[in-house]
Amino acid sequence: MALPPPDPQFVLRGTSAAVHTLHFSCGGPERDIPLLFSGSENGFIHVWNLKTRRVDTALDGHGRKSVYCVETMGGKDRLLSQGRDQRICLWDLAEGRTSVTDSVFTEHVGFCRCSLLKVAQGRWLMAMAARSLEEVQILELPSKTSVCTLKPEVGAKLGMPMCLKLWQLNCDSQPVLLAGYEDGSVVLWNVSMGKALSQLICHQEPVMSLDFDTEKAKGISGSSEKVLSIWSLNEQQNLQVYKTHELVNAGISDITIRPDKKILATAGWDHRIRIFGWKKLKPLAVLDYHTATVHCVSFSDHSNPQQRLLAAGSKDQRISVWSIYAQT
């Protein structure tokens, strides 16, 4: 007899707007306060103290336009946020400051979240959708120099890039980018050479979100239809479909694989969070708490596995935080 799904460990209220993005920062030393960053539709970034479960700071840097991506850059003192005001802001949050140190004007009017990759100490690569419809630009941070622009060939008709993931196999290898596009295909780009290595049509509808497991060279993508697509990368750097999984209700906003690569979580338009085992995509749980579309899910980076959490942000303005499969 299977147990009923667990309830959230706690729920964070107080954003007063739909939550679009979440990012944990709990990996620091023991005495550091575990934090959760959330970006909302009203343009605020809230810094939640997970001990007190209250907002420590609210950052207003996007002119009240929706914030749809937040990431930390090497610790909780440096934050990157992306908003609908077409800007990416870099924040300095050390010692209680809340200032924007730098910003990049992307001229991108869509919703494609940028992707960060640390390539060396103090050097980052950032992939973001650019002004031109189908292009992805790679910038180096903090210098903001353009590394390359990834343009699909003429007539490819991929549409807008919808989601990006920069990764590299290990510190010495070339960085590559996985990009999901509006026409339902996922393209693997070689960043240094600026050309596409492989393209795979995974969905009939736009790819809403994707995540990739570098160790197993396997990735998963979700779309606005009912199918989750799992694909793999072979030695020739070619993408192949591995399997597909049909969902009960259509529409996935976000997918994320837990850092230990054991489970993954999907945020659905049907208000539900689904947990699957990563190895075989075995459905494990359906968490039904929210009353509106779930926009984002995120796993925490706690060093103590027992404390690991899963957070989900929804249009109903709540952030639910769960402790699930933390014992393994």
Residues that bind another protein (CB under 8 A): 1-6, 199-202, 204, 232, 238-243, 248-249, 262-263, 270-272, 277-280, 282-286, 288, 325, 328
Q: Nearer Cβ to another protein, position 23 or 271?
A: 271
Whole-number minimum distance, CB 70 to another protein, in Å? 27
Radius of gyration for the alpha carbons in the chain, expressed in angstroms and rounded? 19
Q: Nearer Cβ to another protein, position 107 or 288?
A: 288
8 Å CB contact between 230 and 213? no
Distance between CA 71 and CA 77 in Å, rounded? 11
Q: In what helix (H) or strand (E) does residue 321 lie, and over which residues does it extend?
A: strand 319-322
Whole-number minimum distance, CB 312 to another protein, in Å? 16
Phi-psi domain of 16 (left: phi exceeds 0; alpha: psi -120 through 50; beta: other): left
Q: Nearer Cβ to another protein, position 202 or 210?
A: 202
How far is C-alpha 277 from the geometric centre of its chain's CA atoms? 19
Q: Nearer Cβ to another protein, position 107 or 260?
A: 260
Whole-number minimum distance, CB 314 to another protein, in Å? 15
Q: In what helix (H) or strand (E) does residue 137 lie, and over which residues does it extend?
A: strand 136-141
Distance between CA 262 and CA 106 in Å, rounded? 35
Whole-number minimum distance, CB 321 to another protein, in Å? 17
Whole-number minimum distance, CB 10 to another protein, in Å? 19
Amino acid at 322: W
